[in-house]
Amino acid sequence: MTKRSALASLLILALAGHADAAEPLKIGLAAPLSGPDAGFGQGARLGAEQAIAEINRAGGVTGRKLQLVVQDDAADPKQAMAVARRFAGSGVRFVIGPLTSGASAAASAVYEEAGIVSVTPGASWAPLTRRGAGLLFRLSGSDAQQGAIGGTLLAERFRGKPVAVVHDKTSFGRGLADEAVRALKARGGQERLFEGVSRDDREIAALVAKLRALGIEAIYFGGLSAPAAGLIRAMREAGLTTTVIGSDGLLDKEFSQVPGAEGTLMTVPSAPPRLPEPRGARAPRSPEADLFAGSAYAAVEILRQGIEGARSVEPAKVAAYLHGGAPLRTVLGEVAFDAGGDLVKPPFTVFAWRRLPDGRLDFAGNEVSP
């Protein structure tokens, strides 16, 4: 190679590097923009768009503007995988989403193989971050973390008293129950009974008889509202005053009609703050949209701080920085991730169902200390 050609090659490389630095940094958004969960997806889109617009107005990230690339996964696992492959093929290195557990579980392997960092605003399925994924981060609390809080309540509020752990035979309920037992035992407690129960009246009656025989004073219930309501109703009819601790699976308008449900404790994901409407908004966001607008906005903030903290746009370096537990300032408050990609402090609040002066049973405003 002649000296002239060598200089020309160096010039071409320098110009290419300059052009690459000037190119926008693509941020993917995988969210349900169609189907029954479209309202949540539209909120995530609005939140991400708002965050990126504000970051770009402030000069971008490491001198580069951000560009949002939006794909509809309809909260469907197959479509989520297809979206992940499209992102991988189009040079996207960072993704917000998917929103749901099923879509996240399906797409996470694709993102991992492609070397893409993903931040899911809403997936709570516990095993999601336990399968060796090094580039996945979760902004919501996991079912495992929620079950552990319930088990801790059981251990600390009923220390030395006979307690039980019950689930509704669903994967969701069993997962919560298993984590509650782990937390209970870690704090020196031990359940007298661990059992699954459905809505079948005979199963419920048999369980109530066991609870009475064992003198159970408190139950952690992992599962949904209907079987929990059936169990509480049967216990009260049998004269049992056993306290029930549950999860947000109890969030059902019919639960407020259950006789004897007063005093039930419930762990609920903390409500995200409502983002101010973006400049030039034509109409206010729907309640469904607001549930994910703040989380998607925060996901963009997290990616920005991860890139700046790592001083790199290489996904592996950004992930390593985020896994290090650095405090990150977001619209949700200060957050930090552990080595598995979960939040160090899971965002859950404990509420008690209480009878209001007008006779209604509600949990709103009845926050209790965990």
CA gap 235, 259 in Å, rounded: 10
Please state, as a whole number, how many other Cβ atoms lie within 10 Å of the Cβ of residue 84: 30
CA gap 215, 86 in Å, rounded: 57
Of the candidates 24, 132, 102, the residue with the CA atom closest to the CA atom of residue 69: 24
Q: Which residues contact 370 (CB under 8 A, 6 or more apart)?
A: 149, 152, 153, 348, 350
Please state, as a whole number, how many other Cβ atoms lie within 10 Å of the Cβ of residue 344: 10
CA gap 309, 159 in Å, rounded: 44
* pLDDT given for residue 290 in this prediction: 86
Query: Mean pLDDT for the chain?
Result: 90
* pLDDT given for residue 18 in this prediction: 45
Residue owning tokens 């970051």 = 55
Q: 57 is written with which tokens? A: 């107005």
Please state, as a whole number, how many other Cβ atoms lie within 10 Å of the Cβ of residue 72: 19
In the chain, which residues have pLDDT < 70?
1-21, 278-283
At position 320, the amino acid (one-letter code) is A
β-bridge mates for residue 137, sequence order = 119
Residue owning tokens 């009609």 = 257
* pLDDT given for residue 9 in this prediction: 47
pTM: 0.84
Domains for the chain: give ranges and CATH numbers: 3-140+271-337 (3.40.50.2300), 144-269+349-368 (3.40.50.2300)
CA gap 86, 110 in Å, rounded: 10
pLDDT in tens, 234-274: 999 999 999 999 999 998 878 888 989 999 999 998 887 78
* pLDDT given for residue 213 in this prediction: 98
CA gap 109, 293 in Å, rounded: 25
